[in-house]
């Protein structure tokens, strides 16, 4: 029903970008998944994650929440993993299912990086195409026990979701302060090291905890596709709270980035729809 309304609004050109004032924290592990028999999990995940977005699987298109941008959903190509990582289709963003369990086994399979595949056109349409536009939309979110500040945006409610996750973490009664000292940062308009692709930090949807405790595959000296060994120090309580509010963790990636969390609720929802209910 809601989907039909969104579709009508899009057809009539009535859809508007979601404003910051519309943000209310959502629990992506607990919310009821739409009952949409016959629709692909990718479509349900994207539409639930990003209100105003509509997937027309018949035409193979994604109508973005801005109400005007239409992008090809694309398929899963037979390219090698490095090429797929460099320029994934929107469908290929779901190529690796994000493991909801606190299990670092799946990441040992080379190139299993659920969340590291990002279609540039999708992210620019969802977020920003210039640094100035992004910077104007950012706000501070604070982890109260240490006063640590992060800067994220609310274009898709990432800042609101982070605030809810940090309150959850603070409420666990565990001293996590060392993970929130010397944090690696949050909003930062930049390219990913070693690539031409914009980092998720450019869009105000990512944060890095204490870099000394995170672990990063490039610093480990591993070659691409051969980063099996990762000695994790990030506690499950932090990871689980952030996942609940829509953030995936780079510690579950083959090319591990243990300090990095990124707002990708579609991947959490897709994992649930795919039957991985931790």
Confirm or reject binding of residue 113 to Zn ion (CB under 5 A).
no
Are residues 99 and 117 in contact, defined by beta-carbon separation less than 8 angstroms? no
Pattern 170-209, binding to Zn ion, x per CB under 5 A?
A: ------------------------------------x-x-
Q: Count the helix, strand and coil residues of the chain and give each as a percent rounded to the nearest 5.
A: 35, 15, 50
Strands 54-56 and 183-185: unpaired
Q: Report, in Å, the least distance between residue 188 CB and Zn ion.
A: 9
Answer for which of 63, 254, 260, 270 binds Zn ion (CB under 5 A) is 260
Residue 191 DSSP one-character state: B
Tell me the site size for Zn ion, rule CB under 5 A: 3
Give the 3-state secondary structure of residue 255.
Answer: coil
Q: Report, in Å, the least distance between residue 199 CB and Zn ion.
A: 7
Stretch that binds Zn ion, among 15-23, 43-51, 141-149, 256-264 (CB under 5 A): 256-264
Residue closest to Zn ion (Cβ): 260
Give the 3-state secondary structure of residue 171.
Answer: coil
Residue placing its CB nearer to Zn ion in the complex, 118 or 260? 260
Q: Which residue blocks in the chain are alpha helix, DSSP H?
A: 2-11, 41-49, 81-86, 120-126, 131-135, 158-170, 211-214, 236-244, 265-273
> What's the token pair of residue 5?
């309304």
Tell me the C-alpha distance between 233 and 259, whole Å: 10
Q: Report, in Å, the least distance between residue 270 CB and Zn ion.
A: 21
Q: Report, in Å, the least distance between residue 93 CB and Zn ion.
A: 17
Count of helix runs (H) and strand runs (E) in the chain: 9, 9
Residue placing its CB nearer to Zn ion in the complex, 23 or 206? 206
Q: Report, in Å, the least distance between residue 32 CB and Zn ion.
A: 31
Residue placing its CB nearer to Zn ion in the complex, 50 or 216? 216
Q: Which of residues 205-244 bind Zn ion (CB under 5 A)?
A: 206, 208
Residues that bind Zn ion (CB under 5 A): 206, 208, 260
């Amino acid at each position: 029903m809601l989907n039909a309304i969104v579709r009508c609004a899009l057809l009539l050109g009535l859809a508007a970008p979601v404003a910051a004032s519309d943000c209310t924290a959502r629990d992506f592990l607990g919310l009821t998944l739409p009952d949409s028999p016959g629709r692909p999990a990718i479509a349900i995940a994207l539409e639930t994650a990003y209100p105003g977005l509509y997937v027309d699987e018949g035409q193979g298109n994604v109508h973005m929440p801005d109400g005007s941008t239409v992008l090809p959903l694309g398929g899963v190509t037979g390219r090698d993993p490095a090429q797929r990582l460099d320029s994934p289709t929107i469908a290929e963003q779901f190529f690796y299912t994000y493991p909801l369990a606190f299990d670092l086994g799946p990441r040992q399979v080379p190139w299993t990086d659920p969340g590291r595949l990002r279609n540039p056109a999708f992210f620019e349409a969802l977020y920003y195409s210039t640094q100035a536009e992004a910077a104007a939309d950012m706000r501070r979110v604070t982890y109260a026990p240490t006063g640590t500040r992060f800067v994220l945006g609310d274009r898709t409610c990432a800042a609101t979701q982070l605030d809810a996750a940090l309150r959850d973490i603070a409420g666990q009664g565990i001293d996590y302060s060392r993970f929130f000292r010397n944090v690696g940062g949050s909003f930062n308009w930049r390219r990913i090291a070693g690539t031409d692709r914009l980092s998720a930090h450019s869009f105000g949807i990512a944060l890095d905890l204490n870099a000394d405790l995170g672990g990063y595959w490039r610093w480990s000296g591993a070659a691409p596709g051969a980063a099996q060994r990762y000695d994790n120090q990030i506690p499950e309580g932090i990871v689980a709270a952030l996942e609940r509010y829509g953030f995936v963790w780079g510690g579950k990636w083959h090319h591990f980035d243990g300090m990095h969390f990124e707002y990708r609720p579609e991947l959490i929802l897709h994992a649930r729809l795919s039957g991985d209910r931790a």
